[in-house]
Amino acid sequence: MTKIRRSDGSRGAPRAPEPAHREQAHPDQSSSQPQSADPLVEIDHLLNRRSSRVREMAEQSASARAEGEAFLRQFDEISRRVIKPTMEAVISRLRKDGGDGSIAERGLDASQNPRVILWMSLQGEISSEPHQDRNPFLQLDADTAHRRVDVWEGDMWEKQGASRAMAPWELVEISPESLTKRIIGILARATPHGLTH
């Protein structure tokens, strides 16, 4: 058997050819997850979340609107059944005792909530437009946003007295008794004004 002489001069069996060089895979490439087929899918998520929020806000707005309308219906009913009859009874008694009174109302419109005001005179008729600086009064404003009745009182008479905001009422607090007590309190503060000692 013929021996093959190596280039280095030694003899022996021929070496097996060395395998071709393999390029090592980058570790990051082997461990990373495959990329999404749609790179714009995040836009779908963003707009879907926004649409959900818009629907939620619309539902909340509709619910608040329905609650406000229910509150206004209840205020209107209490005005007819309780507030105005009680105020009319006060006016009758004032006239019997030499005074006077009137009721001013403002219905619901696009910019203002309903209001009921009892104006009072301690002596004589209310001959001119009543005013907070001249007449004792009780003012009730329906506050739709907070579902309550805002209360204002004034005991001005003979250029004396004051007007002030009072603690608001819930609808359930309004009764002939609570209204009468409040009105008598206003008159009790107003009647001493203008008297000399």
pTM here is 0.71
Q: What is the pLDDT of residue 63?
A: 78
Q: What is the pLDDT of residue 138?
A: 98
DSSP letters, the chain, are: -PPEEPTTS-EEPPPPPPPPPPPPPPHHHHHSPPPPS-TTHHHHHHHHHHHHHHHHHHHHHHHHHHHHHHHHHHHHHHIIIIIHHHHHHHHHHHHHTT-EEEEEEE---SS---EEEEEEESSS---S---TTTS-EEEEEEETTTTEEEEEEE--BTTB--EEEEEEE-GGG--HHHHHHHHHHHHHHHTTTT---
Q: What is the pLDDT of residue 127?
A: 77
Q: What is the pLDDT of residue 17?
A: 57
Q: What is the pLDDT of residue 184?
A: 98
Residues of the chain scoring pLDDT < 70: 1-36, 110, 196-197
